[in-house]
Structure 1
């Protein structure tokens, strides 16, 4: 191989790698949202400020109308999750940071008050489940039988799915069952 060709190939490779590195840097260079202030608590994992909805990253709290069981008795775990988040948010001046958005356009954030990670605290208190980021805190809540772990509950994502199915079928449980079976058959035999 001639030295000129080797040099040219080396320069071309370097140029290609440089362009790819710049492209990757640009893709990762989304501005970070940082907000401090008085947040409005929508539910156990969603805040609002200045018309912007913020979803606490890495957690999934019971839906506001969701009910759970504790010692055979229904309790409003969704309402309690909202109250728990409101209490945490009121203990200081939260700072929420995030770059990415979920499929509903909500900004995914991690919120802190001083050294307290609010997202982690919600999971540790059993008022939210880990959704990709707080497995150790979830184990702590399970062992302590804190919050939803003190009894029986439906995972929030399963609850949302059932609610969507009920609304799609006009609240008719028989139609909902047939719709579910139809989906199951389509999933098994595509």
Structure 2
């Protein structure tokens, strides 16, 4: 067990003692040591989060994968969430506006799971 700013000392009798720092300079040196490790901690945590998400956290997959060609459109009049697949009548005219919450999907199953329905035409 390690307590911050305390020195761990073995007393020779099979036990560890946590000793308070003696003066301000000792505390300062320990704080500096801890802060010098901070960038390494941040970089390690960021890399772990990036890899845990499959490496797709910086840019959403639908923005760079050409297979993600299903357009998720929100109706201005009803607010209904509708997706359009290539070949449908309004596919070419549909524009994705991210500021309105519209998005791209990589599969119809993904769109349905997110609560969108297929366009009728």
The TM-score range, normalised by the shorter chain, is 0.3 to 0.5
| Greater share of residues in helix | 1
| Normalised TM-score (structure 2) | 0.35
| Normalised TM-score (structure 1) | 0.25
